[in-house]
Structure 1
């Protein structure tokens, strides 16, 4: 009997090819989107879970209490790890890292000349690091690899990149020497697999922390500040966390100055929460996906799947009239209702399984596109055996909801009515239930469409709102040799495609996670009254280059080895209730020394638009002129090649690298860009699925009202009147869905926008635009069905029994 059911089901699927294809498309879209979202959420929730000690590992974070605010840092002072290790023997493990940071290397062997390269993910780690975090070793001894001060451990990718001939024989590169910064020889003592993409511990090579400590004694012994150092502890159990935090509160007095002890406190952040916790910011070279974004994504997955299932149910039950005689004959011949339920369960289940298989193929293709599209965050989603649980769960959920209800509805037909083709579905029953489901679908559709419109305008705001400085066609590159700054600039300006050159520590807006921090106070104030500020070193041409507006005082006239002048922004001036003119000539003291304010610039966005403008101090300090800013009027390949040639001729012993400033600024909004693309994609999917639902509803309505259409035409109704008659059905649905969706989407998007200091104002036309767009698409979708019904021959409908 079961074999017979399979045959009948397969024949019915082939017989109704159009319906089968429409059903499969709608459901496969929903299932594919759901699987993809669940894989993404699982991936983003799994960061650092693979470490053996993950549940007992914590990052030490720092709270800095200032007079006007509290700052939350994910980095700590370098001496902290050793002090914790010495004074708290009950802690299982304490490890210290510095970085990751950029460093230049060179290789020379018998087969080639010197090969120079620069790596941006160089991590200095102590010997405890390899015991704290799981690392897969391909060569070398993990117990001793970082013991030697001048050792280095490479990742597999770097071996393939710089020792391609030796990648199949890793032992052959052990003991070879790599030169750091052109002067320090480091011996290769190990090769490890690259850290998994779902790791906050990012590095391309490891160098002993002791090497960093020896070569950076000021930073390594400074308790007052932090300089990209991270401390991790492994506790005996989770209950030890609160006790240790409490002990550290009084213990820190042993090492911190009284003024630092008053402002600095430490806390322990679970390793597995780092990737989804926004309070402390992202790890160096990493990114954060907030937990609420992941919850939102799960809701989106659920809604997309539900509206796809609702469509499937609608389209199947809309065909119920055409299957009614079949049900009547089977019942008249003695079939029980359970037999018919089983038949339809098998039939619908087969379609769902076929759709699930096609969805798996779709996901397999799309997942590579998604990785490529989001390579900016090193996204590397994979779809394989490990996701079988997700597929089974979605498939079971879909079959339960999408197959059982239609089977029950179709098997409930009474044989006499079915044979006479007089099936009646009460208005208070299935039809209203079905229309309610369609309303629910279009509520979700409206939410996606309106949200996509609002997010698009916020992203446009990020891109086009004045930043307070000029960033167009600006190239940034490093300057390895300060003695050649003037030579380099003069040669560049001889190039007609280059219009201006400036030097400094960084562009006006903090990008790529780099920002110099300091504190400021009046000379007569004590250190406890100091406030936080950004420190930016700027050459004499910096203001003109970036079009920063002086509103009081003057620009720097010279750069000096020991700075003696400050230019500050309006925000800093306002913190003392000065006018810009009053600020000129005032002395302020920062961590690095004291100087006089000679100029005040109009506020510009020194942080991305998610954050407020903070106090900023520009220094005439030539020591930190490590970046060149080049304005190029036509960034064509020839101009870029000429710039590279000039750079390499000027700095022949360094590695050339450059970035467009606008590209770096765009990366500051990578998470927001993902949200925008996600809402746009899901809006398209939701509209597509929703319109299939309307198609199913129209099919259902038309099949029920064939005779009514015939009577109306016989009594003189024209085509326009009949189309209008049908239009009322779905116009009401879309309008009702719009009214119900507006309050929810308004609340949701207001909540999202509150996360930005600078944001757009939600306007009513954004909602109306989404509603009109959805209504227009729905009208176009249903026009085919309604026009076909309006032009049908009334005789064919009226002569049916």
Structure 2
């Protein structure tokens, strides 16, 4: 019997090649898209879950209460870990890290040549780090690997990079020396596997935290601020969390100054929630993906799968009339309805299983492409055996909906009517169900299309809205030796392609997660009255380089070893209700010292557009002028080679690297671009699947109304009138879908835009544009089948067999 089922199924597939291809194509798109999204969601929801102690591990976070706001920091003061370890015996484990940061390393090869490397994920960690987090060891002893202050642990990739001659004998490189910053020799004491992609701890090198403390005594002993230090604690169980937070609240006054004790509070954040929690921002060197984004993605995956299944059902039932005689003959010959149901379920399941196999191949290709497109966040998605359960779940769900319902419809035909080719479905319920499903599909389609338009316009706003400073054709490069800055500048300006050069701590807008923070107050105010501000270091050319507009006062007149002048932005003045003219000559106190305001610049975006403009203080201070900003001719990238040559001739003991400011700014919108790309792709997929749904319903209607079309043509109806007859039917469905979709998408996109301080407003034309796009595509899809039906010979339609 099964052999017979397979033979008949194969014949029907070959008989309807086009419809079969559309069936498989539409369903495979839906299943593949659903699987990719769910694999992505599962990956992004699994960060740090692989650690054995994950459920009882917490990151210590800090709330900084200011008079006008509360700041939420994911990093804490460096002395905190040692104090917690000494004073709270109920804490099983406390570990502290600094970084990750970029550092330069050098090593002598066999020919005694010095080879330099720059690594971007160098993490300073104490020995407890190796016992808190699960790390796969290749060589070395994790109990002693970080005991020596001058030790270094490499990942497998870096061990191969630094010592290619070891030929995978990693034990042979134990004790070899690598120089940090060309001066501090470190001995290799371990080789480990890289952290998995779904880890918030990003590193490729581990160096003892004690080494950091000795070389950074001010940072490591300062309780008032935080300098990329992350503290983790391990508890025996979750019930100890709240009592411990309460104890810390009263305990911290033991170490903090009275003014710091009032503003600083410590809390424990579960390790497994770090990656999806937006309140504290991303970990140093990592990124976050909010839970609401993952939830939305899961809903999108379900919608894509459901509309693909709906199309599959529509196409199968639309083709069912061509098999009505087969059903009639089988029933006359004694087949029971359950036998027919079993047969059609078997046939449809074969198609679905085949589609699943095709989908697996598509998924592998899509995951590879997704990893490539999102390499900026080091995405490491791959299809694994653990996803087999997900495939089976999707397959069972698809078979349940897409195989059983068509089988029931096909098996319900009455034999007499089937043999006379006069199939009459009972009432209008089935047809109304199809209409409802098409409306549902196009509600989803228009949600995606309109959402993609809104997101695209918001991204365009990010790209084209004035930031208040010039960023075009700006090259940024580090300046490791301050004493050589003027020599570097003068040589660069000798080239006609270089128009301006400036030095400072960073561009006007914070990029690469780097921003210097401070607090400010009037000299007569108390520390408790201090407000938060960004501190920006810039030389005398900084304002002119970035075209920052002075509203009052003057620019810096000379570069100074210690600062005594400030230039502030408009937002800072609002704290004291000063006008720009009133602010000139006023003194303010910051954490680093006191100075006089000599200039006020017009507000510029010192943060990306997701966030508001904050108070900013510009200092002329040699201490932090560690970046060079070079203005090259517009799109004149030939000068890059010259900049590199001059840089390497000037800073001979360091490694050259550069970045374009525009590229760095664009990276600040990684999550938004991910959302934009997602909605764009989903819109295209939804339109494709929705059009297949229209095609299926159109096939159903034309097959039922063949004789009606023939009669209309015989009675003189033109092709245009017949097209109008069918198009009008479907445009009502599309219009109804648009009416339903508009309020839903308007609410959802406004909710999304609320996450941006600077945003576009949703206009009626955006909504209408989405509806128009869907309308045009629907008309084209309908016309294809309508024209085919209208051009058919009416004689064939009216002929009785």
- Residue 343 of structure 1 deviates from its aligned partner by 0.5
Deviations, residues 726-746 of structure 1 (Å, cap 9, x unaligned): 101111111110000001000
Q: Is the 8 A contact 1:159 1:167 kept in 2?
A: no
Query: 2:472, 2:634 within 8 Å by CA — same for their partners in 1?
Result: no
Alignment of 1:318-357 (within 5 A): 318-357=318-357
Equivalent residue, structure 1, for 2:52 = 52
Moved more, 504-513 or 5-14: 5-14
Displacement of 1:111: 2.8
Q: How does 1:185-200 map to 2 (within 5 A)?
A: 185-200=185-200
Give deviations 1:651-675, integer Å, cap 9, x for gaps.
0100111000111100000000000
Structure 1 position 636, deviation (Å)? 4.9
Q: Deviations over 1:573-595 (max 9, x none)?
A: 11110001000000000000000
Give the distance between the partners of 1:369 and 1:386, measured in 2 at CA.
20
Aligned equivalent of 1:310: 310
- How far apart in 2 are the matches of 1:575 and 1:102? 36
Q: Whole-Å Cα distance in 1 between the matches of residues 122 and 47 of structure 2?
A: 20
SS at the partner of 1:279?
coil
Which residue of 2 is the match for residue 417 of structure 1?
A: 417
Partner of 1:26: 26
Q: Give the structure 2 partner of residue 540 of structure 1.
A: 540
Structure 2 CA distance for partners of 1:167 and 1:378, relative to 1, 3 Å:
farther
Q: Which residue of 2 aligns with 1:235?
A: 235
Does residue 1:700 correspond to 2:700, yes or no?
yes
Match of 1:63 in 2: 63
1:117 Cα offset (Å): 1.6
Distance 1:109 1:511 in 2: 36
Match of 1:405 in 2: 405
Is this contact kept in 2: 1:105–1:118, CA < 8 A? Answer: yes
CA distance in 1, matches of 2:296, 2:638: 46
Give distance in 1, aligned partners of 2:743 and 2:163: 60
Q: CA deviation at 1:160?
A: 2.1
1:152 partner SS: strand
- Is 1:147 the counterpart of 2:150 in the alignment? no
Match of 1:723? 723
Counterparts of 2:111 and 2:95, CA distance in 1: 39
The answer as to whether partners of 2:106 and 2:115 remain within 8 angstroms in 1 is yes
Find the counterpart in structure 2 of residue 498 from structure 1. Answer: 498
Contact 2:76–2:227, Cα closer than 8 Å, also in 1? yes
Deviation, 1:386, is 1.3
1:309-331: CA deviations, max 9, x gaps?
A: 00000000001111111000000
Q: Does 1:209 align with 2:209?
A: yes
TM-fit CA distance, 1:426:
4.1
Aligned to 1:290: 290
Q: Which whole-Å CA distance do the structure 1 matches of 2:800 and 2:67 have between them? A: 85
Aligned to 2:617, what secondary structure does the other structure show? strand
Displacement after TM superposition at 1:155 (Å): 0.9
**TM-score (norm. length: structure 2):** 0.99
User: What SS class does the counterpart of residue 147 from structure 1 fall into?
Assistant: coil
Bigger drift between 41-50 and 176-185 goes to 176-185
* DSSP 3-state at the match of 1:676: helix
Q: Report the CA distance between 1:460 and its aligned residue.
A: 0.4
- Residue of structure 1 in register with 2:678 after alignment: 678
Report if the CA contact (8 A) 1:213-1:220 is conserved: yes
Task: Confirm or deny: 8 A CA contact 2:152 2:206 kept in the other structure.
Answer: yes
Is the 8 Å Cα contact of residues 521 and 529 (structure 1) preserved in structure 2? Answer: yes
Q: How does 1:539-558 map to 2 (within 5 A)?
A: 539-558=539-558
Q: Per the alignment, in what secondary structure is the counterpart of residue 668 of structure 1?
A: helix
In the other structure, the counterpart of 2:618 is 618
The answer to whether structure 1 residue 434 and structure 2 residue 442 are counterparts is: no
Answer yes or no: is the 8 Å Cα contact 2:536–2:619 preserved in 1: yes
Tell me the residue number matched to 2:514: 514
In structure 1, the residue matched to 2:100 is 100
User: Structure 1 residue 3: deviation in Å?
Assistant: 2.4
Alignment-derived partner of residue 453 in structure 2:
453
Q: Give the C-alpha shift of residue 172 in structure 1.
A: 2.1
Contact 1:537 1:625 in 2 (8 A): yes
Partners of 1:383 and 1:730 in 2: how far apart? 40
Cα separation, 1, equivalents of 2:663 and 2:768: 34
How far is 1:678 from its partner? Answer: 0.2
Show CA shifts across 1:305-353 (max 9, x none). Answer: 0000000000000011111110000000000000000100011000001
* Residue of structure 1 in register with 2:137 after alignment: 137
Shift of 1:800: 2.7
How far does residue 203 in structure 1 lie from its aligned partner after superposition?
Answer: 0.7
Measured on the aligned residues, the alpha-carbon RMSD in Å equals 0.9
CA contact (8 A) 2:608 2:668 kept: yes
CA-to-aligned-CA distance 1:465-511 (integer Å, 9 cap, x gap): 00000000101010011011100000001112111100000000000
In the alignment, is the contact (CA less than 8 A) between 1:138 and 1:191 conserved in 2?
yes
- Higher deviation after alignment, 1-10 or 331-340: 1-10
Partner of 1:669: helix, strand, or coil? helix
Is contact 1:497-1:634 (8 Å) kept? Answer: no
CA contact (8 A) 2:709 2:722 kept: yes
Tell me if structure 1 keeps the 8 A contact 2:93–2:235: yes
| Partner residue, 2:223 | 223
Cα distance in 1 for partners of 2:426, 2:207 equals: 76
Q: Deviations over 1:526-547 (max 9, x none)?
A: 0000000000001000000000
Equivalent in the alignment of 1:649: 649
Q: Aligned ranges for residues 457-476 of structure 1 at < 5 Å?
A: 457-476=457-476
1:634 Cα deviation after fit: 4.7
- The whole-number CA distance in structure 2 between the counterparts of 1:637 and 1:663 is 14
Q: Distance in 1 between matches of 2:165 and 2:666?
A: 38
Instruction: Tell me how far 1:427 sits from its aligned partner.
Output: 4.9
Q: Residue 166 of structure 2 contacts residue 173 of structure 2 at CA under 8 Å; is this kept in 1?
A: yes
TM-aligned CA deviation for residue 635 of structure 1: 4.8
Is 2:121–2:202's contact at 8 Å kept on the other side of the alignment?
yes
Query: How many matched pairs?
Result: 801
Q: Which residue of 2 aligns with 1:114?
A: 114
| Contact 1:9/1:343 (<8 A) preserved | no
Q: Which residue of 2 aligns with 1:565?
A: 565
Q: Secondary structure at the match of 2:233?
A: strand
Residue 365 (str. 1) matches residue 365 (str. 2): yes
Give me the TM-score of the superposition, normalised by structure 1. 0.99
Give the corresponding residue for 2:586: 586
Contact 2:328–2:416 (CA under 8 A) maintained in structure 1: yes
Mapped partners of 1:462, 1:784: distance in 2? 40
Residue 116 of structure 1 and its aligned partner are, at CA, apart by: 1.2
Secondary structure at the aligned position of 2:175 is classed as: coil
Q: Which residue of 2 aligns with 1:443?
A: 443
Distance 1:422 1:634 in 2: 73
In structure 2, the residue matched to 1:776 is: 776
| Distance in 1 between residues matched to 2:539 and 2:706, nearest whole Å | 81
Q: Is 1:798 aligned to 2:798, yes or no?
A: yes
Counterparts of 1:665 and 1:427, CA distance in 2: 61
- Whole-angstrom distance in 2 between the partners of 1:423 and 1:754: 54
Structure 2 residue ranges without an equivalent (≥5): none
Shift of residue 11, structure 1, vs aligned partner: 2.0
Give, in angstroms, the shift of residue 162 of structure 1: 2.0
Provide the secondary structure at the position in 1 that maps to 2:238. coil
Go from structure 1 to structure 2 and tell me whether the alpha carbon gap of 1:229 and 1:318 turns closer, same or farther (over 3 Å shift). Answer: same
Give the equivalent residue in structure 2 for 1:184. Answer: 184
**2:767 counterpart of 1:767:** yes
Q: Report the CA distance shift for 1:635/1:164 in structure 2 as closer, same or farther (over 3 A).
A: farther
Q: 1:36-51, aligned counterparts within 5 Å?
A: 36-51=36-51
SS at match of 2:269: strand
C-alpha distance in 1, partners of 2:792/2:735? 28
| Deviation of 1:110 (Å) | 3.4
Task: Report the Cα distance in structure 2 between the residues aligned to 1:800 and 1:458, rounded to whole angstroms.
Answer: 60
